[in-house]
């Protein structure tokens, strides 16, 4: 489970830790009643690949439901694909989620990939 901290931009308010969209919404409602509407979301604790994903997505208060509904449960390879689309190709998160399954991952060197491609191509001819 991923833990975040919601840091109010206003120095007059105190932030809160949360590990679910429900907890975030409950605490934001309390802050809103005290006049605070905007917070910065900070990644506090979670698996390394989720930290990378949060950084690539640029997680903000508008993404909290997306994070807990779709992103947090992705496996390592899916996160690598999404981060590639976000960081290297400049996709936004919506487009990256639509297209990440089109990204091919090869674990090994470029030389190994080329050799496998040649072998696969020659074996079908």
pLDDT digits (tens, 9 = 90+) for 97-115: 999 999 988 888 889 888 8
For the entire predicted model, the pTM comes to 0.81
54-97 pLDDT, tens digit per residue, is 999 999 999 999 999 999 999 999 999 999 999 999 999 999 99
CA-based torsion, 112, 84, 3, 22: positive or negative = negative
- Give the pLDDT band of residue 123 (cuts 50, 70, 90): low
Give pLDDT, residue 59: 93
Question: How far, CA to CA in Å, does 56 sit from each of 66, 86, 88, 92?
Answer: 14, 6, 10, 10
Residue 12: exposure state from Cβ atoms within 10 A (0-12, 13-18, ≥19): exposed
Query: What's the pLDDT at 101?
Result: 94
Nearest alpha carbon to residue 19 among 64, 59, 83, 82: 64
Torsion sign over Cα 74, 93, 77, 41: negative
pLDDT band at 124 (very low <50, low <70, confident <90, very high): low
- Hey, where are the domains in the chain? 3-123
Mean pLDDT of the chain: 93
Q: What is the average per-residue pLDDT within 42-57? A: 94
**Residue 125 reports pLDDT greater than 60:** no
10 Å CB burial of residue 6 (0-12, 13-18, 19+) is: buried
Contact at 8 Å (CB) between 64 and 24?
yes
- Higher-pLDDT residue of 118 and 82 is 82
* Contact assessment for residue 81 and residue 38, using Cβ atoms and an 8 Å cutoff: no
């Amino acid at each position: 489970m991923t833990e975040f901290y919601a840091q109010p931009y206003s120095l007059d308010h105190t932030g809160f830790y949360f590990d679910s969209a429900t907890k975030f919404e409950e605490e934001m409602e309390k802050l809103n009643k005290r006049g605070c509407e905007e917070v910065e979301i900070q990644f506090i604790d979670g698996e390394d690949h989720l930290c990378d994903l949060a950084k690539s997505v640029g997680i903000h208060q508008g993404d909290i439901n997306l994070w807990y509904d779709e992103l947090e449960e992705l496996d390592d390879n899916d996160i690598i694909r999404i981060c590639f689309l976000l960081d290297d190709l400049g996709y936004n998160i919506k487009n990256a989620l639509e297209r990440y399954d089109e990204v091919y991952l090869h674990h090994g060197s470029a030389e190994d990939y080329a050799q496998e491609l040649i072998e696969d191509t020659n074996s079908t001819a």
